[in-house]
Structure 1
Amino acid sequence: MLLLAHLGICQSAGLEAVTQSSKLEASKKYEAAYEVLDKIDPKDQLPDVFLQKEKLLLDYYLITLNFQGFGLKDLAPGETVEKLRGKEGQYSMHLLDIPQKLAQLRKRFPQDYRLCKGLGDYYYRAMLCHCGEQDKTEEQLLRLVIENYEQAHAHQLGDFMSYYAVGYAYLVQKQAQASVAPFEKSIALNSKYPDAPYNLAYALWQLKKPAEATPYAQASFRLYSDPAMKADAARMLGELYQQQQQPAEALKAWLQSLELQPKSYATLRNLLEISVTSHAPEAASWAARLYQLNPADDQMFIDIMDIYQAQNQWAEAEAFFSSQLPNAPAEPTAQGLLHMYIAILNMQLKRPKVAWPHFLVAQTQLKKVVKPENPLFQMINRGLAESKQ
């Protein structure tokens, strides 16, 4: 009875400390908030206090040592965790083996499934930051995320982030079907968190359900404020419309994406493909913008070739690449690749006399920067042999 009374007094004091700590947390006094908790429970015997400690460390750390040492600070007006995290400064360092402490508490309080959620929180954050648990593979960390969160969920102790994390963990492991239900639950708990509908749309896309995925992609596009993420959502929306044979809607979505990310390779490639497929007059201008991102990128040449080839538009491809000759960079790789692909296209068009000098320039230029054993030279030498008059 005396032990139970003592425990009750400690828990009551712990709850008061958690309340006081939460008030300090709200005013960005993170170090002071932690000290209140550590003073009342320095040996980490009280679940309520420890879980609040964990929250402070995981949410507001500015530096970390193997995810077992966490630097905190009371922030001044205008300071934010996002601006300070990872930068040098004067921080109070707190050494804490979070999973070890949670495992100890679980032995003492086996029915307190909040501790399972705490373990899920820790492993999810460790997996995202790649800054701790180096003895575990990503697959092992993902399994720990799922196992611990699902134990908590089985006892109605989840929130939108824990359900999102389970969905994300399944999706990363290419288990799209298993990710659907937790993503849906996350959205039901918080319809304003954009990552959940985005990843649910992606999962449904992987499951070849573009019509079901589209509303979620639309929602994520509306919700994102970050231009890069908003552009990514619009790009996926375009892909979904394209799969549903709605080219006008796909074009609109990709143009929205490009407006947010004018130098997006993926979006420019999509716009080129839809233009070539529909024989739109804008095709050459999209090809030019894609080419200008990096005229020395072999993959870019391959992608442009593949798009035109799929529509049997060899002459259009050759005309486009030839139009780039006057303004192509003088750098050997850019010159060599451009001449090589012009030569290949002319061979396809049965114009060996036109191809031969381009093969020759390609050989001369690429010899300056590419090793002799490179497969490019096999292609060039064969082209020279077949086009020589």
Structure 2
Amino acid sequence: MSLFTRLTRLLLVLLLLPQLGVAQGAAAPALAQAAKLEAEKKYESACKILDQADPQNQQPAVVLEKEKLLLRYYLIAINFKAFGLKDLAPGETVERLRGQQGKYSMHLLDIPATLAQLQKRFPQDYSLSQGLGDYYYRAVLCHCGEQDKTEAQLLDLVIEHYGRAHTHQLGDYMTYYGVGYAHLAQGRAQPSVAPFEKSIALNPQYPDAPYNLAYALLQLKEPARAVPFAQTSLRLYTDPEMKADAARMLGTLYQRLQQPAEAKKALLQSLDLQPANYATLRNLLELAVTTHAPDATTWATRLYQLNPADDQMFSDIMDIYQAQGQWAEAEAFFSSRLPTAPAQPGAQGLLHFYVAILNMQLQRPKEARPHFLAAQRELKKVAKPDNPLFQIIDKGLAESKP
């Protein structure tokens, strides 16, 4: 490149910089007005102001503000490129209206293509990288748009674009959380830890970050390190479902640390919020069986009653007792259900099947045989002939034959 060419390009850049400043400055009143309307929940009106200020989507600050409005407040979205907005009336919320039929003003914006074009014009504006990260993060959460990409590809794009913004000192607690989430969602617990910690440092009141950090540390088999973060999320959550999840994870962490009293306290707190939660009841049963607590049968009964025809439930209960070598206790529990079990073939068949299996394990083939026969009779009414259960039943009948 000649000296003349370099000087010419430098001159053009110097000439364009003032124009960019004027353009961004001219948009300031529109941005302020749009922010005011957003605060009043007049999202459609705010977007119109921005469209008028930058109809061709040439100004990064305006386009990024449009993106924020469209992604946060859309009520319907088509391929994540057309977004319906509305000025909300008193009492209306986006959460209640989203996905519902209604009259909405549609706004067309191909966000990734528009931001990519702006990046070529303004390569030093790394807020555009953050904007791309925002887009791909939202696309992952709503499972809409970008149908040509897998979820893993979208998550990697979140990491890539947010990472570029972070390298240039841009970002907030949500962008760091997004990076942690993207790693954790792909089974990469270790690289999720640092961004979650950064998110917490930037906003200690956001409960999802300590919750997911605790989960990541649980995956990394560091329960002691995870406990304070689970406690923090439990304290911060106000939504009953999320609070129950946090309490259940805290209970699981205490189980891993072999602190049964603390584990039971946390699990009971979770159960108070979600009385029919399968995972919580399973954990309480496991805790009771492991510690030989007298309430084991109570928890087994509550777990069984959730769905007496659920094969996973039978398998879980048997596995929990088996892990402690308590075969007789498991057989006694299932046998105790026989008089009151629902009459449906699935429930009857599975119950007799597991009673038979446990009796065989206890070296009692004579007691097992009638239950194998009952299981075969009932399960034939609801299961296909190639179901693996029938192979086990046939084997059991052969081994228990008088």
Which range, TM-score by smaller chain? over 0.9
Equivalent in the alignment of 2:224: 211
What do the CA deviations read for 1:113-168 (whole angstroms, capped 9, x no partner)? 11110111011101111111111111111111111111111111110100000011
| SS in structure 2 at match of 1:347 | helix
Three-state SS of the structure 1 residue aligned to 2:46 is helix
Structure 2 counterpart SS, 1:324? helix
Query: How far 1:313 moved relative to its partner?
Result: 1.3
Residue correspondences, number: 389
1:349, CA displacement in angstroms? 2.1
1:349 aligns with 2:362: yes
Tell whether the 8 Å contact from 1:120 to 1:145 is kept in structure 2 after alignment. Answer: yes
Task: Give the drift of 1:100.
Answer: 1.0
1:370 aligns with 2:383: yes
| Alpha-carbon distance between aligned partners in 2 of 1:98 and 1:255, rounded to the nearest angstrom | 46
Q: What is residue 328 of structure 2 aligned with on the other side?
A: 315
CA distance in structure 1 between the aligned counterparts of 2:19 and 2:384, rounded to whole angstroms:
77
| 1:198 is aligned to 2:211 | yes
Match of 1:66 in 2: 79
Q: Name the CA distance, whole Å, in 2 between partners of 1:364 and 1:321.
A: 18
Q: Residue by residue, what CA displacement relative to the aligned partner does 1:292-345 show, whole Å, maximum 9, x if unpaired? A: 111111111111111111112121111111111111110001101101111121
Tell me how far apart the structure 2 counterparts of residues 344 and 9 of structure 1 sit (CA, whole Å): 80
Displacement of 1:385: 2.1
Structure 1 counterpart of 2:63, which letter? F
- Tell me whether 1:255 sits opposite 2:275 in the alignment: no
Secondary structure in 1 aligned to 2:77? Answer: strand
Give the CA RMSD over aligned residues. 1.3
Q: Is 1:97 aligned with 2:110? A: yes
Q: Post-superposition shift, 1:386?
A: 2.0
SS at structure 1 position matched to 2:107:
strand
**Given the alignment, which residue of 194, 204, 207 partners 1:181?**
194
Report SS of the residue matched to 1:71.
strand
The offset of 1:205, in angstroms, is 1.2
Structure-2 change in CA distance of 1:157 and 1:2 (3 Å): closer
Deviations 1:80-129 (Å, cap 9, x if unpaired)?
00000111100000011111111111111111111110111011101111
Structure 1 unaligned blocks of 5 or more: none
Matches within 5 A, 1:45-124: 45-124=58-137
Query: CA offset at residue 5 of structure 1?
Result: 5.5
Cα separation, 2, equivalents of 1:160 and 1:277: 40
Cα gap change, 1:201/1:2 in structure 2, threshold over 3 Å: closer, same or farther?
A: closer
The answer to whether the Cα contact below 8 Å between 1:15 and 1:48 also exists between their aligned partners in 2 is: no
Of residues 255, 276, 294 in structure 1, which corresponds to 2:289?
Answer: 276
Structure 1 residue 7, shift from structure 2 partner: 4.1
SS class of match (1:208): coil
Question: Which amino acid in 1 is paired with 2:236?
Answer: L
* Cα distance in 1, alignment partners of residues 168 and 277 from structure 2: 45
> What residue number does 1:361 align with?
374
Deviation at 1:2, TM superposition (A): 7.9
User: Paired residue for 1:237?
Assistant: 250
How far is 1:351 from its partner? Answer: 2.3
Shift of 1:9: 3.5
Equivalent position of 2:179 in the other structure: 166
Deviations 1:320-379 (A, max 9, x none): 111111111100011011011111212222222222211111111111111222221121
Query: Against the structure 1 CA distance between its residues 344 and 8, is the aligned structure 2 distance closer, same or farther, given a 3 Å change threshold?
Result: closer
For the pair 1:293 / 2:302, whether they are aligned, the reply is no
1:142 and 2:155 equivalent?
A: yes
**1:237, CA displacement in angstroms?**
0.8
Structure 1 ranges of 4+ moved more than 6 A: none
Instruction: Give the % identical residues.
Output: 74
Q: Partner amino acid for 2:125? A: D
Aligned match for 1:222, one of 226, 232, 235:
235
Scaled by the length of structure 1, the TM-score of the pair is: 0.97
Cα distance, 1:361–1:27 mapped onto 2, change above 3 Å: same
Q: Deviations over 1:214-261 (max 9, x none)?
A: 100000111111111111111111111111111111111111111111
